[in-house]
């Protein structure tokens, strides 16, 4: 087979069985790979009403058709499952080099079901696959687990996915780590591994991926590399990486500061890209990347790849922490213990706000370092009362302290680092995402007319369809001027058969609608497509001082979004839409 | 080749592995970094990667080890290559190369870098300047020699490369 490895691995941890099956070729055109293909397998396998942390839930890890080739920035892959954080089906993707490694071992994806009787890991040594005892890794952080997994397979160049104590303890915002500093961060993938007694996966692949005509493929890639990827608009990734956004979002007035109270951080220069550059000692890339947006940073003996923009804001500005070394320590702890930095920064910021408002004192105060760093381990290990409370997430904390006015979450997933009160498109994006507040589904922050409800609703629909198709190939967002036309061209060349741009366009819409169908069956209603109360209170400071995203405006946007999607007023896809997408028989 | 050699600069390597993707594509007609003739070893925890290249030694250990005289050093270009017709796959060269840069492929034939006959594709593919092909100046020569003095014996090729790369990382972080 060209572009695909051709096989899917099925691991049943309850029965302790491993099988492989040829990839369902009849699904490839409609669902592509990664999110789309993973979702298609998941949809067939899992009852939408399943308890996410039960053995009956499945975890699908899926690569895309471009992974394993030298298509620039093509090494991303997806995890699809029902989220313990939101109760919806969700997709989480990351880069690194695990995806190509898995394909070189001969598999496009892994479908994991059941629950192991003791802590285990999956070992994939080309076609030799086994379930192994991971008891000696119990309680280990991700950094140490990666080392042990590589020792177990006797290859330092093996690639891994693993969880830390947060995942083992099923913290709903526990992440899965790979290549030390990269994560499937959002939606609780780590808790899903933990619920299955799965500490990690280690993979070594010595095989290959084929294309239809290598000479022609290489020449096509060389052409896109020079005419599109290395475009000057993308070069920020090489020079600055995502911290570039620190100053930008402050200027825009959408920079979450002190639990989303302010729209700017007046001390941003202490933790912005210019400051990070003074401490940078290296650039780090995912497989096949031309930019290396990961900035390896060293401050006073604390070092890591990062921090990235989201972590600088949520762990920094949002907690009143304006010291780069402290944020590095926060970030390393989260990466090692296996916590999503976005949710973790939100939750700690909320706890600090609850204290400031006199509603509950967690001994956490804006800007105070020592307890802020201490509580991270307490959350991951559930080792203290406050650690347990914070581990449940913002929504549960709001319930407990009658504080829904202070939280920033959608469907139980905390906000990323763009305040919707200064960028309505991002608010619509958060509210309409399948997995709760996610900035990636349709990134509208840099659109013109961010307060034009109709244009923003349209931008969100378009962004969701485009990204869903693009991510299903395995491509990264940093190739920002990539188009479905380019991706169809590369896929057609590699496969040796024509993929039309329209095929990819409609695949994006199909995948989004199938996600919706699952979520409706899981119990999601239109009421869940909403924004938190805080958005109706004024943001303070910056260019949008005093702005709100009113219920009236939001509800208008929501109605337009549903209509543009071909969904009724309850957010249910029409029969005509489903028929158009070939989803009426599913 | 006017004294040009393939030079790896680990401090600039990002671990993207494009060199190996391209090398394998050209040599095997498939994408298979494991079968590439340039090998990047990665230390993600430390944010460091080391591209391992063949030095085309003046007096190559692999050549001396070969009982079949299947390894040849071109007198004009200095490029060290394997004559696949003569190779019996005994593996003596693999054992003797202190850098882990010659290995048997799945058909049990010794495989090593041939500098793409004097125009290495990996160099053109590197977007970070971490692999260059030029005549080294005095300073650079010192650096290369320091790397070449890291010789490992009695391990698999992959483990030799890993240990060398680890040493290069440790030396780099001491500075």
Is A70 in contact with B32 (Cβ distance < 8 A)?
A: no
Residue A518 to residue A523: CA distance in whole angstroms: 9
Average pLDDT estimate for A422-444: 98
- Asked if A2 and A494 count as a contact pair (C-beta separation under 8 A), the reply is yes
Whether residue B2 has pLDDT greater than 90: no
Number of structural domains found in chain B: 1
For the domain that residue B29 is a member of, what is the CATH number? 3.30.70.20
Phi, psi of B127 (to 5 degrees): -90, 0
pLDDT of residue A535: 98
pLDDT tens digits for A382-392?
999 999 999 99
- Chain B residues with CB-CB distance to A285 below 8 A: 14-16
Whether residue B139 has pLDDT greater than 70: yes
pLDDT tens digits for B89-99?
999 999 999 99
Distance from CA of B16 to the nearest CA of A (A): 4
Average pLDDT estimate for A14-30: 98
pLDDT tens digits for A192-226?
999 999 999 999 999 999 999 999 999 999 999 99
Whether residue A98 has pLDDT greater than 70: yes
pLDDT of residue A229: 98
Distance from CA of A89 to the nearest CA of B (A): 31
Average pLDDT estimate for A115-121: 98
Helix (H, G, I), strand (E, B), or coil: what is residue B131? strand
- Asked if A386 and A361 count as a contact pair (C-beta separation under 8 A), the reply is no
DSSP state of A188: -
pLDDT tens digits for A332-343?
999 999 999 999
Reported as a pLDDT band with limits 50, 70 and 90, residue B1 is: low
For domain A238-407, the question of CATH label 3.30.1360.120 is answered with no
Residue A254 to residue A413: CA distance in whole angstroms: 19
- Chain A residues with CB-CB distance to B35 below 8 A: 206, 208
Query: Is A146 an 8 Å CB contact of chain B?
Result: yes
Residue B36 to residue B63: CA distance in whole angstroms: 20
pLDDT tens digits for A390-410?
999 999 999 999 999 999 999
Query: Is B22 an 8 Å CB contact of chain A?
Result: yes
CATH no., domain A424-480+500-580 = 1.10.599.10
**By percentage, how much of chain A surpasses pLDDT 90?**
100
Other CB atoms within a 10 A radius of the CB of residue B55 amount to 19
Across the interface, which of B30, B48, B162 has its CB nearest the CB of A208?
A: B30
Distance from CA of B21 to the nearest CA of A (A): 6
The DSSP code sequence of B1-64 is -TT-EEEE-GGG--S--HHHHHHHHHHHSSB-GGG-SSEEEEEGGGTEEEEE-----SS-HHHH
Query: Is A289 an 8 Å CB contact of chain B?
Result: yes
Which residue range is the domain that position B107 belongs to?
5-174
Task: Tell me what the pLDDT averaged over chain A comes to.
Answer: 98
Beta bridge partners of B5: B134
Closest to A185 (Cα-Cα) out of A309, A46, A68, A56: A309
Reported as a pLDDT band with limits 50, 70 and 90, residue A306 is: very high
Average pLDDT estimate for A441-465: 98
pLDDT tens digits for A140-157?
999 999 999 999 999 999
pLDDT of residue B174: 82
Whether residue B126 has pLDDT greater than 70: yes
Q: Where in chain A is the domain with CATH 3.60.9.10?
A: 7-204
Reported as a pLDDT band with limits 50, 70 and 90, residue A529 is: very high
**By percentage, how much of chain A surpasses pLDDT 70?**
100
pLDDT of residue B175: 61
Average pLDDT estimate for A372-382: 98
pLDDT tens digits for A2-21?
999 999 999 999 999 999 99
Task: Supply the pTM of this predicted model.
Answer: 0.98
CATH no., domain A7-204 = 3.60.9.10
Average pLDDT estimate for A558-573: 98
Sequence-ordered alpha helix ranges (H) in A236-368: 236-239, 245-252, 273-279, 309-311, 324-337, 341-356
Question: Residue A491: which region, alpha, beta or left (left: phi > 0; alpha: psi -120 to 50)?
Answer: alpha
Contacts of A23 (CB under 8 A, 6+ apart): A1, A4, A5, A6, A7, A8, A108, A109
Q: Where in chain A is the domain with CATH 1.10.569.10?
A: 238-407
């Amino acid at each position: 087979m060209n572009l695909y490895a051709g096989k899917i691995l099925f691991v049943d941890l309850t029965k302790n069985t491993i099988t492989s099956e040829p990839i369902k070729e009849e699904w490839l055109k409609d669902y592509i790979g990664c999110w789309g293909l993973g979702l298609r397998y998941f949809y067939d396998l899992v009852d939408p009403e399943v308890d996410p942390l039960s053995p009956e839930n499945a975890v699908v890890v899926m690569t895309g058709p471009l992974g394993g080739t030298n298509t620039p920035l093509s090494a991303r892959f997806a995890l699809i499952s029902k989220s313990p954080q939101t109760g919806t089906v969700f997709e989480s993707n990351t880069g690194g080099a695990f995806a190509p490694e898995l394909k070189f071992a001969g598999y496009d994806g892994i479908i994991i079901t059941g629950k192991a009787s003791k802590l285990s890991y999956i070992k994939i040594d080309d076609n030799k696959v086994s379930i192994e005892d991971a008891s000696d890794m119990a309680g280990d952080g991700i950094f140490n687990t990666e080392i042990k997994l590589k020792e177990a397979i006797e290859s330092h160049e093996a690639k891994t996915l693993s969880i830390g104590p947060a995942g083992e303890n099923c913290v709903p915002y526990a992440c899965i780590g790979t290549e030390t500093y990269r994560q499937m961060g959002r939606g609780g993938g780590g808790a899903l591994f933990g619920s299955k007694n799965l500490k990690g996966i280690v993979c070594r692949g010595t095989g290959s991926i084929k294309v239809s005509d290598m000479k022609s493929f290489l020449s096509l890639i060389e052409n896109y590399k020079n005419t599109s990827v290395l475009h000057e608009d993308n070069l920020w990734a090489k020079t600055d990486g995502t911290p570039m956004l620190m100053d930008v979002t402050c200027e825009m007035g959408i920079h979450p500061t002190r639990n989303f109270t302010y729209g700017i951080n007046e001390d941003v220069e202490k933790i912005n890209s210019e400051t990070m550059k003074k401490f940078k000692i290296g650039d780090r890339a995912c497989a096949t990347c031309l930019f290396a947006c990961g900035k390896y940073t060293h401050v006073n003996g604390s070092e890591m790849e990062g921090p990235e923009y989201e972590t600088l804001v949520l762990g920094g500005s949002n907690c009143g922490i304006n010291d780069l070394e402290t944020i590095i320590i926060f970030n390393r702890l989260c990466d090692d213990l296996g916590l999503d930095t976005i949710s973790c920064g939100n939750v700690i910021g909320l706890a600090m706000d609850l204290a400031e408002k006199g509603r509950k004192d967690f001994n956490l105060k804006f800007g105070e370092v020592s307890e802020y760093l201490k509580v991270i381990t307490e959350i991951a290990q559930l080792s203290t009362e406050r650690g347990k409370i914070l581990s449940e997430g913002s929504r549960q904390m709001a319930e407990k302290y009658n504080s829904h006015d202070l939280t920033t979450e959608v469907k139980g997933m905390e906000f990323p680092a763009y305040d919707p009160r200064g960028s309505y498109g991002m608010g619509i994006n958060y509210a309409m995402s399948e997995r709760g507040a996610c900035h990636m589904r349709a990134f509208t922050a840099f659109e013109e007319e961010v307060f034009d409800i109709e244009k923003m609703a349209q931008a969100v629909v378009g962004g969701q369809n485009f990204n869903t198709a693009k991510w299903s190939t395995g491509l990264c967002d940093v190739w920002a001027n990539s188009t479905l036309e380019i991706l169809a061209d590369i896929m057609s060349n590699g496969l040796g058969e024509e993929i039309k741009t329209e095929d990819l366009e409609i695949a994006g819409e199909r995948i989004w609608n199938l996600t919706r169908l699952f979520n409706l069956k899981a119990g999601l209603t239109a009421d869940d497509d909403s924004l938190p109360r805080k958005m109706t209170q004024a943001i303070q400071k910056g260019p949008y001082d005093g702005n709100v995203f009113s219920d009236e405006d939001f509800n208008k946007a929501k109605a337009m979004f549903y209509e543009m999607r071909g969904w009724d007023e309850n957010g249910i896809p029409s029969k005509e839409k489903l028929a158009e997408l070939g989803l009426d028989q599913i | 080749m006017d004294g040009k050699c393939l030079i790896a600069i680990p401090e600039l390597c990002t671990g993207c592995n494009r060199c190996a993707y391209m090398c394998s594509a050209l040599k095997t007609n498939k994408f298979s970094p494991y079968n590439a003739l340039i090998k990047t070893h990665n230390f993600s925890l430390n944010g460091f990667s080391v591209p391992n290249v063949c030095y085309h030694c003046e007096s190559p250990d692999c050549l001396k080890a070969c009982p079949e005289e299947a390894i040849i050093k071109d007198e004009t270009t200095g490029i060290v290559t394997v004559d696949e017709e003569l190779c019996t796959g005994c593996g003596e060269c693999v054992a003797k190369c202190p850098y882990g840069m010659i290995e048997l492929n799945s058909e049990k034939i010794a495989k090593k870098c041939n500098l793409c006959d004097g125009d290495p594709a990996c160099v053109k593919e590197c977007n970070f300047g971490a692999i260059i092909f030029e005549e080294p100046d005095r300073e650079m020569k010192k650096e290369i020699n320091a790397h070449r003095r890291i010789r490992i014996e009695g391990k698999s090729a992959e483990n030799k490369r890993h240990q060398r790369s680890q040493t290069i990382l440790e030396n780099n972080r001491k500075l």
